Amino acid sequence: MIDYNRLQQIYGDDKSYIAEMFETFLQDALPDFGLIPDFIVRQDWGSLAQLIHKVKPSLGMVGLSDLEEQLNEIEMRAKTNPNASQIEALWQSAQGDLEKAVIILRDTMTKF
């Protein structure tokens, strides 16, 4: 789930910095993901696209490349062809992956 090659490219072998980035993500960026379901329910596609655009880079910074791509798909659909049921299904999948990723990030962070 974590793209260790990407982390290596960004941070080299500096595991303490990677752990700091994980911690920053969990404290600062993760709460923003909780806003996504409300935007979907309200079908506020502009706000959804803006929020995803804001949080997407944080996923890459902690090696969650696949999740970053999933959110990119949601952002593009919100901007170009919003369909509530499709976006909801994409978010459900992404949310499940995010929940798994959070567990892995927390566990990995303590090992660095």
Pairwise CA distance, residues 36 & 32, whole Å:
8
Q: Is 84 helix (H, G, I), strand (E, B) or coil?
A: helix
Task: Write out pLDDT tens, residues 6-51.
Answer: 999 999 999 999 999 999 999 999 999 999 999 999 999 999 999 9
Instruction: Determine what percent of the chain is predicted with pLDDT higher than 90.
Output: 95
Pairwise CA distance, residues 95 & 100, whole Å:
9
Note whether 91 and 98 are within 8 A (CB).
no
Q: What is the pLDDT of residue 53?
A: 97
Q: What is the pLDDT of residue 110?
A: 84
As a whole number, the mean pLDDT across the chain is: 95
Give CA 108 to chain center in angstroms. Answer: 17
Q: pTM value?
A: 0.91
Q: What is the pLDDT of residue 111?
A: 80
The pLDDT of 64-76, averaged and rounded, is 97
The pLDDT of 70-74, averaged and rounded, is 97
Q: 65-80 and 45-61 helices cross at what angle (nearest 10)?
A: 160
